[in-house]
Amino acid sequence: MENKLIPRFMELLDDIEREQGRKIQQKDIVNHFGWDRKRVSAWFVGRNFIPYPEAWYLSKFLKCSMHDFYREEGE
């Protein structure tokens, strides 16, 4: 059976807050990139995957690996 990747955006933001000592809010991302608020909101509640181009830009903004956005099912 193939492992399915599931979003872990909120967990990632919690990790960043703990490790880097900074809190990232939805409005910070919307204002920084000019992305649609509803789309970013869906990432925060885990309804939608973050597509490749956006994940790459976010990884640079959040100072983390793009692969941190997902985890294997069952982790």
Residue spans of the domains in the chain: they are: 13-68
pLDDT surpassing 90 at residue 13: no
Please tell me whether the overall predicted TM-score, pTM, comes out greater than 0.85 for this model.
no
Q: What is the structure's pLDDT at 2?
A: 39
Distance from C-alpha of 66 to C-alpha of 64, rounded to nearest angstrom: 7
Distance from C-alpha of 32 to C-alpha of 72, rounded to nearest angstrom: 29
| Beta-bridge mates of residue 71 | 6
Here the tokens at position 22 are 């900074």
Q: What is the structure's pLDDT at 74?
A: 53
Q: Which amino acid is at 31?
A: N
pLDDT tens, residue by residue, 15-72: 889 998 988 889 999 999 999 999 999 888 877 778 888 888 999 999 888 777 766 5
Which CATH number is associated with domain 13-68? 1.10.260
